[in-house]
Every structure is written in structure tokens, then in C-alpha cells.
Structure 1
């Protein structure tokens, strides 16, 4: 538990003791302590901590909230709390101001914990799976996949930092109608390139990358498939192409800093009979009925008003049937919570999938779906639409080549998933304070530079300041920076509970801004040895925290720029 969390926990205990004491005196009547909030106010002038406890007691106590707040303050023992003053604000908030000397504990804490600073064990080792990207292996990864990759990977890292046992998973859609169309497309391109005139399938894949794949097959095997039986030829072509596409997906994601624990094949669900067994379970529970020769799943949860076909009239399961079986498999593997990151166009599928999980006996709340809005790529003020290689939209590979992994990931993580991202290519490549990733990385590089200069000048840059030295950090810029460093564990807790890694991107931007403000107003390598030691401790701690958060986001922390 961090210094700041210990202070908040202590103040919470004192607040509860205060109202219990008031009840014993007959000054306050209530049955139970409500679930209240003790947090940092949005506005600095409102103090360091604020609580809504008095307002939540109004109904039980049958008194005005400001009167209750006054009773709480009268009965509050502030010994050992760092509280210097309490005041009633607005309709009945209680604001507290802390002795800024509490901040002196932050630097020793960061020094002791190093890379572990920020870790909070709220997960208690609970198993969570994060499934993200899961693109059809029929083409190249695009901008939407890139956003999902950055979001999913950083969310997994965030949850691990919060004490969960996290597994990253990619679901390979290597079965079903899209693979059938893929096989037909490969066959048509192969025969055309071998001089055989055949029509291209109406629902085929038109990307240039498919032609590259077929050329690779021809270079390897020549014309030996031209006179082969159709289905055998398609099976061979699609087997080769899937292997190539999946390898390309793995390599591209690796270059984007994304590595999976599990690559799960949809085809395995079909071949093992797991889908049929899952449908039988639903049928036995009377959630499935037959109509017009097909099997239908009843709508189960509110928000899903439409029954859905899960096995077609020809006996072939739909994609939804495979998806239900896949999610059942996730829970059977022991995950207490499953998080999916989907495109916003899948919003109608959410209630349906949650309902299917409830029908199978799992809590629908154990499945969380994060919906992600579109990405618009901007260059020279205009939307970029076409990709020379894919024939469709800009690919992840092209994006990495254009702006680099760090800029791409950071730009995607600056906005919450429900917001459309306008990705400015020119800004992402610029080396200026306007570029957020450059701004943050430059702060880290500058911190490293200060520590190198300290070593070159013979100062002990790694010396942990003593309490008397830390007490010298009294300027507003120093206090603001210390407070932000102290905030990290709380930010990790909140971001993990809300599954919002974008909060950390904003945190690290704010931290970089506070450091730059400090750097422009306070010199570090000064003559006074005690203040110099204290400020070097602050520099070292800021560097550590920046590096820790950038690691969660999957962005590098350069030592020189």
C-alpha cells in the first residue's frame, strides 16, 4: 500500500470512528455506515481529500447534510492523519487539507520498490482473459486492428500490475464461410496466374496481398495444382495461405510490441465436436427451438429482442454458434472474468453473447465487452483512405513503418475506446512538444540526462535523500510533482477497476508536464548538497515512474533523444 493510500485508509477509519462516537453521544442517529467516497477533489482549492459521507447519512439521520458534516468534524480525531484543517463545502462535502510534509515519504517508497512501484494487489491472483484483435486470417491487419492491439495489450499489462493473473488470447477464425470464400479466392487467383480463364468469386477477397501469397505458392510448387481435384486444391491452397497469413499477423503484432499467451483455433471447436455438444446443452435447457429447418437460440437478456439462428437448415453451425462454444470454453478453462475487445459494429452481439453465457450457467457479468470506435487517419489535413498494398485501408505494418510503434500505440491510447480517433500522421512524426509521445519520451530522456550530468560532475546521483533533506522540497513545482508521483498506485486501482488504460496515458502526460514545469523553474545541480540530493532523488523517482507507466502502455522510455 502506498503512502497516499495509507493516509486515505487512516482518514476513512477516523471518519467512521467519528460518526460512531457521535452516535454514542446521541448527536447522530443512523443504522449503518453508508458506502461513501473519500477522494481527491477535482479543484486544488478544495483541499487534498473530500468526502460525501455527511450527505449520504441525511436519510438515516433525518438532518441537514451540513449539520451532519459539522457533527462529524466536531467528533473527528485528526491525530496521526496529516490533516491540518477541515471545512464544510457546498451541500455538505467535507474537505480536508493535509500537511504537505507527508510527501516526503514518496521518494523513499519509489526508491525501495523501483519497477514494482504502482503495483496494487486488488486482483488477488484472479484469472482474467483478455481477447483482442482476433482478425480473420484472410488479409492484412488494418488500423482498427492496430487500435485494438494497443488497447488490449496495455489493458492486460494494467490488470497484471493490479494483481490479476492475465492471459492474452487471439481467436483465429480459421473455419466457416469466410474461409470458404478465401479458398475460392485463392483458387481463382492461382488459376488466373497460371493462364486459366476463370471468374473471380463475387464474395472473394480482392487485396493485393492475396496475389502475393499465390505468387509465393507458384514459386514454390509451380503448376502442380492446376489439374488437381477442386476441393483438394482448395484445401492445399488455403492451408498454405493461412499459415502464411497467421505468421504475418504474429510478426506484425510482435513489431507492435504485442505477444499472446494463447492462439486459439476456431477450427478445433468444429473438429472436436465441442460446438455440437454446446448446442446440445442449450437444447436440453430448452433455449433452442427448431423453425424452418434451422435451429434458433431464444433471446434471453433485455436488450436482445431477436432470436438468432445458430445452426442453419443444412446442418452447418453459424459463426454465432462457434462463438458461444468458444466463450463456454474460456470459462471452462477457469477464467473468472473474460474481456473481449470488439469493433463498435458488433454492439448488437453483446447482449446476445451475454445471454448465451447465462443460458449455459455463467454470470453474464463475467463477460465484459469493450466496444471500440473507428480510426480516421489524417495527413496534410485530409483523411487517408487507400493502401497501396492491401487495396483497402492503411495496414498496421504501413503505420509502424510510417510513424513507429511508440507513436502509434500512444496515439491510440490517448482516447477512451468509445471515442473516434483521428490519427494525425504529421503530428505523430513531429519532434515537438505538440506531439504527446515525443513530449513524454523527451521528459524521460531529459531526466536521464540530468542524472548523467550529476555523475559526470562527481555528485552521488543514486543517493537516497534523508528525511531532513526531503523536507527542503517546498516549492509549488516540487510539491506538485511529488503529489503526482504519489498518485500512481491510486491511478492503477481506478484504471484497473474501470478497465481504462487510457487514464494512464493521460496520467503520464500530466506527469511529464509537471516535470517540464519543475525543470524550467528549479535547478537541480546546485551548490547546496542537501537540496541537490533531495532534487536528484525527485528526478530519479520521476524517471522511474515515467518508465513504469510507459511499460504498461507498451511505449519505450529512451535515455537519449
Structure 2
């Protein structure tokens, strides 16, 4: 309805200009149609009159009256009214919504999914947690945000690849190797303390035990350099195995695990720096350091890429990594980063611009921290991790469905409270239970209808019997699902889907309690079952995009 109605409004404005009722009137480039906050005002509304008020120097209500007088509404519009200072409201005829309900059923498995040619290639890089410790709930939130965003992009018509950047080079790996070595020496009876910068978690001891079981104790007495050389790759491999297991529990997969170490060993980092230097973007810094002039491209200051001792900074490696991404020809590059990386965005975009790439191809979704609670009380740290509760502990306690759903309840860049007891509760207070129960409730209705001999919906359902306001409201909510999927994908805001499903489930439950679905009128019961099945399909598809199960019984 949006396209034909917008065209009709354009034609009405043009007619006003032509006959002099609004001299000089021409429609703005964008005409917005939105659902009114109060459904009593109609199904769609436009602020077109307000948009035209300044250029025409006329009161918006007078403009609205002129536009409505010249408007030929497209089929399906039942009423056009003017509200407040000049909003034009439209009410759609029930027959329009009945047709849309049938179209939702006809969409089948393609419900909410793009049917045309692919819109482009997208690389979503997410998680990318250092393989030096267990995944914590902050990593988990980023993992779910990235995974659901990738699912939404696929549904919206993009070809998507998922990538995990493995930070398996640099100081943090040496620190992990040294920590394992200290634990190995302790296991052999040596009285040696873990250094202040070492990793204290119980997982380090477990890795040392794994090495000892596979290779014995010889490395405990080896020189430190030799021990670190051997234990670094071993420790990373052990941690990646655990990270993969954590992600598997959440149903998260990757198409590629991109190794920083291979990037460094390939010579790509000095090659990209040489390109930047040849183009005049590198300048000498203090003590022989090299500085990239990122401030020329929107960063707040220039950034060191080579330290005075000749060691490369993390930023230097990230430049080479993002240059590699650009060279692979993606239309969109999406990074899901922790909120502590907010200051990093401008420098990476600046480096891409200096390398001749389009910095706007890079989009960064920042993910805020998670406050883990138990009945409103902050949860203490984990012994195994050493400083935090692990993602594995949370998933084990509340399950993958609740974990995924709870992580998406707020915008990614907003702090999130995650209450473990609420996530386990089987009541309407638990949002994931509330939405899943909507699906199970409809399945239960169909089982009951079959048992009682009600005629189930067929090829020609009696949709004309759906005349209650709550029934038409449910259809409108279902109709909003496909554009919601597209909008959430384009805006990189997967939380929109959680909010939508929660509201849809609420509307279903309210309808169920207000109206008897399996009543004395078999035809009406068939129509209402047809509506309920459409709601179930949308809930099931929405939960699928969230990576959450849709149970038939609860």
C-alpha cells in the first residue's frame, strides 16, 4: 500500500499546484508513511502537510485540507481524515487486510525473505576474542549480535560470509605461553609464582596439564624462549577449541577463521605500510617511530604504527587485515566490536581511505557490556576464568535460547542487565518464554481443533469473518514483519526483531483471552485458526532468525 498511496499523494500535491489552491506546490523528494501511535487514528499517517508548510508559507492544516480534497485514494483505502495540526490519516478497508493475510500464507517458507537477485556481498566479522582466555558474557553478546545480524542480512537478500579474526600473534600470546609454562613448572613441584601480568584462571592450569599429558615434563626445565615458542601455538589451539565449543552451544558458526599470524608471516603488514609511506601518509615520530597521519581523514590525532623499537602496533596489523578485506571485493564490511573500541573506528576508516578504499564500506556495530544479575543482585566472578563469569557457565545454566534472546533485548550499544533467574523462569515475566509460548499455544489450538472435529483452514478460508479490531490489528502486525526484517538488516539493529516478536506475542495472548477461537460457529473458528496459523508462522520465522527454537509444546 505504501507505494501507490505515496504516488497518489504526489499527484494530489501536483494538482493543488496546477489549479492554484496551493500555488507553487510540489511534493518533497521523500514522503513518509508511518503507523500512528494511536491506532484509533488509522492505519497509516503522513506529515506531508508539515513538510510543505515552510516552503508554501501556509498553515499545515490548510495544506492538508487542500491535499485531501485533491486526493484519489488507491483501492483499499476506506477513510481519509485530518488530525491535529495537519496529519493526514488513512484507514484501510478490512478487505485489504484479508488479502494481505492470504498473501502471508502464500509466501510459505519465503515469508519475510527477499525474493529478487542478491543485493550484494557482505562480510560480517564478529567475536574475534583473543584466544588467551575463556569467552565471557560480553563476547557472548557480541557473538549473538553478529550471528543474528548475519541471518537478517541473508533474509534481506545479501550474500553473507561470517569471519572470526584470530589474534594469534603478539604480546598476548606470549603472555599466555609464559603463564602456561609457569603452571607446568608448578605441576612438576617447582615453587614459582605467576607474574603480575600472567593469566590466573584455572583454565591455564588445565592447558598445562594437557601439555604434560601429551608431551611430558621436559619443557618445564627448558629455556624460557624455547618454552614460549612451543606453548604459544599449543595454548592458542587449546583456547580456540574451547571457543569453538562455546559458540557451538549457541548455534554460531563461521565461514572463515582468519589468522593474524598468517597475515604477519605473509609480509602483508610491512607491504601495506610501505604503500602508505610511498603515498606520503607516514611521518617520523619520536625516537624513530613511524606515525600515520589519520587526522587528515577524520581521526582526532595521528597514530603510531611502528614503535621506536621497531615493533609493529596492533593498529598496523589491523590496517593490513582491513586492506585484505577490501581486496576481497565485498560491498559491505561489518565489524561487531566491543564498545571499548569506539575510538578505533575513525582511525581504521582513515587508513582505508589512505589506501584508496571507500571508508563508508566499513560499518561498525559497537556492543556494550552486560551486567550479570541473579534476582537483581550482581553475580560474583568465576573461579575457572579468574575474573569473570564465562559464557559457557551462563549457557549451561539458562540454555542457548534464553541466552540468545536476552542478549538482544536492547540496542547493541546500550548496557544490558541479564538476570539468570528471570531467564530460567517459566512465566510471562520471562520474555523468551512469553514469545515461545505464543508458538506453542497455536500448535495446541490446532491439536484441540482436530480432536473436536473443527474444519481446518483450506484453500479458500472464510477470512471475511475476521472483523474484530483485534483481528485486523494482528494482521497489520504480521504485515509489518517483512519490512521489519529489511529495516533491521540495513540498520544493523537485530534488537528490533526481539521487540517486534515480544509485541506480537502480547497481541496474540491478549486476543486469545478476549475471543473464543474454537466456539459454536465452525466457519468463524476456521477463519480464526487461519489467522492464528499466520501468527505462528511469523513467530516461528522470527525465532529462527534469532537462532531460538519454536517449541510445539510447553
Place the TM-score, normalised by the shorter chain, in its bin: over 0.9
Matching residue within 490, 495, 503 for 2:488: 495
Helix, strand or coil for the counterpart of 1:226?
helix
1:118-517 equivalent positions in 2, closer than 5 A: 118-120=112-114, 124-291=118-285, 292-300=287-295, 304-466=299-461, 469-517=462-510
- Inter-CA distance 79–202: structure 2 relative to 1 (3 Å threshold): closer
How many Å apart are 1:229 and its aligned residue?
4.4
How many Å apart are 1:45 and its aligned residue?
2.5
Cα pair 2:79 2:91 within 8 Å, conserved: yes
Deviations 1:282-310 (A, max 9, x none): 11221111122111111336763222111
How many residue pairs match? The answer is 552
Q: Matches of 1:533 and 1:542 in 2, distance apart?
A: 14
Q: Matches of 1:177 and 1:121 in 2, distance apart?
A: 48
Matching residue within 526, 529, 540 for 2:522: 529
- Inter-CA distance 273–553: structure 2 relative to 1 (3 Å threshold): same
Helix, strand or coil for the counterpart of 2:220?
coil
Q: Matches of 1:151 and 1:140 in 2, distance apart?
A: 19
- Inter-CA distance 481–79: structure 2 relative to 1 (3 Å threshold): closer
| Equivalent position of 2:92 in the other structure | 98
Q: Matches of 1:328 and 1:100 in 2, distance apart?
A: 54
Please, what TM-score do these two structures have when normalized by structure 2?
0.96
| Equivalent position of 1:4 in the other structure | none
Cα pair 1:111 1:464 within 8 Å, conserved: no
Deviations 1:167-186 (A, max 9, x none): 11111000111112112112
Unaligned runs of 5+ in 2: none
Alignment RMSD: 1.8
Helix, strand or coil for the counterpart of 2:413?
coil
Q: Matches of 2:411 and 2:68 in 1, distance apart?
A: 39
Q: Matches of 1:277 and 1:421 in 2, distance apart?
A: 41
How many Å apart are 1:31 and its aligned residue?
5.7
How many Å apart are 1:544 and its aligned residue?
0.5
Deviations 1:27-55 (A, max 9, x none): 33146633221121222122111112222
- Inter-CA distance 58–184: structure 2 relative to 1 (3 Å threshold): same
Deviations 1:223-268 (A, max 9, x none): 1323444333222222222111111111110111111111111111
Cα pair 2:375 2:422 within 8 Å, conserved: no
How many Å apart are 1:443 and its aligned residue?
1.3
Q: Matches of 2:544 and 2:133 in 1, distance apart?
A: 30
Cα pair 1:150 1:412 within 8 Å, conserved: yes
How many Å apart are 1:462 and its aligned residue?
5.0
Q: Matches of 1:121 and 1:235 in 2, distance apart?
A: 52
| Equivalent position of 2:79 in the other structure | 85
- Inter-CA distance 433–464: structure 2 relative to 1 (3 Å threshold): farther
After superposing on structure 2, the runs of 4+ consecutive aligned residues of structure 1 that deviate more than 6 Å are none
Matching residue within 49, 63, 67 for 2:58: 63
Q: Matches of 1:404 and 1:31 in 2, distance apart?
A: 56
Cα pair 1:142 1:393 within 8 Å, conserved: yes
Cα pair 2:194 2:200 within 8 Å, conserved: no
- Inter-CA distance 128–79: structure 2 relative to 1 (3 Å threshold): closer
Helix, strand or coil for the counterpart of 2:261?
helix
Unaligned runs of 5+ in 1: 1-6
Cα pair 1:122 1:493 within 8 Å, conserved: no
Cα pair 2:201 2:383 within 8 Å, conserved: no
- Inter-CA distance 10–152: structure 2 relative to 1 (3 Å threshold): same
Q: Matches of 1:76 and 1:558 in 2, distance apart?
A: 48
Q: Matches of 2:267 and 2:175 in 1, distance apart?
A: 23
| Equivalent position of 2:540 in the other structure | 547
Helix, strand or coil for the counterpart of 1:545?
helix
How many Å apart are 1:394 and its aligned residue?
0.8
